Amino acid sequence: MNKLYFKFGAMGSSKSAQALIAEFNYRQRGYNVLMLKPSVDTRDGYGVIASRIGIKSPCILFDKNENLFDLVKAQKGVQDVIVDEAQFCTKEQIDQLHDLTENGVVVLCYGLKTNFKGELFEGSKRLLEIAESLQEIKSVCRCGAKATMNARIINGKVTTEGDEILIGGDEAYEAMCYNCFKKYQREPLPKSKNDFEQE
């Protein structure tokens, strides 16, 4: 039986880049790879998985009502499935991805573990429950500690108010350690790295 993999990290930890590198490696070895991404993530344009470092690849978009088992099986001969932004999957869709592994398909999911409040996304929760392989992709907070939180920044401060999904990049979010996440809910973020180092 093949495995369901979940590779997770905070924003900016190179999740999409690693997904694209995995695609390249599989294709170079002759495997038939299918790239998928939830349609709610429109940051990189329509039907594209892109990394901040400039690499990208076409993908198939799906919405929360799509049966991912059926979607993949409709594409003949798929051996490997790579899902970017897997946190936006539903519980049922993660179960469908696991069903694919029982039918000879390797499934690699990349995504965030928690939302901007520090709470598990539905898809991530299910992946943590049933994936056979879990791997954290590490990133660093501006203070130098390990980043574990996806802080949403509004008017220069960390907020925990608002809808769970707000698609954005560096202009709206920052990866932080838990201590900085709590601290900058109470006080404004320094305007620059130099200001931060002088604190």
Positions annotated as catalytic residues are: 85
* 74 Cβ contact list (under 8 Å, min separation 6): none
Quick check: 158 and 32 in contact, CB under 8 A? Answer: no
- Residues 172, 165, 51, 12, CA torsion sign: positive
**H or E segment and range at residue 26:** helix 15-28
Across 136-147, b (16+ Cβ under 10 Å) vs e yields: eeebebbeeeeb
Q: Which of 104, 102, 110 is nearest to 22 (CA)?
A: 110
Q: Which of 22, 50, 31, 26 is nearest to 109 (CA)?
A: 22
Amino acid at 186: R
Q: How far apart are the C-alpha atoms of 62 and 19, rounded to whole Å?
A: 17
Q: What tokens were used for 48?
A: 């594209």
Q: What tokens were used for 180?
A: 């900085």
Amino acid at 25: N
